[in-house]
Amino acid sequence: MSRYAGTDLEIGKQYWLDELDKRIERLEIKGIDLANTEKDYRVALAKKILKLNDVRSGTVKVEIAKGTEDIAFKRLQRDIEKVKYDTVQQSIYQSKLELGIIKEDILNERLQR
């Protein structure tokens, strides 16, 4: 059973096309935000590692650096941006599903005529 019928199908289709456009624009913004927070995290981590002169092992330096409060905060910011990005991706997927349902309803309506 369709949620839309007749003219409502076209209105629903246009609504979800508009939503898809908005969500794709948001994905671009969130992608840029994610890239910037990733850069900030990596630069801060590299600087912190370079300051750890008293530790010989490279792996240990990285783990110590990641455990410091400022680097952990940068990593948290990066992870939050990743969640926001993934959320927008899922909303785009939802829009595509809705459009697919409407397309199917339009085809069924045309076949019934």
Domain membership flag for residue 62? yes
Q: How many domains does the chain have?
A: 1
- Nearest CA to 85 out of 22, 5, 28 is that of 28
pLDDT at 5: 62
Domain membership flag for residue 1? no
Domain membership flag for residue 23? yes
CA 99 to chain centre: 20
pLDDT(1) > 60: no
Domain membership flag for residue 35? yes
For 62-89, the DSSP string reads HHHHHHSHHHHHHHHHHHHHHHHHHHHH
pLDDT(34) > 90: yes
pLDDT at 112: 84
pTM of the entire structure?
A: 0.78
Q: Residues with Cβ < 8 Å from 91, sequence gap 6 or more?
A: 23, 26
Domain membership flag for residue 2? no
For the segment 80-102, the average pLDDT, to the nearest whole number, is 96
Domain membership flag for residue 36? yes
Q: What percent of the chain has pLDDT over 70?
A: 95
Amino acid sitting at position 109: E
Range of the domain at 57: 7-112
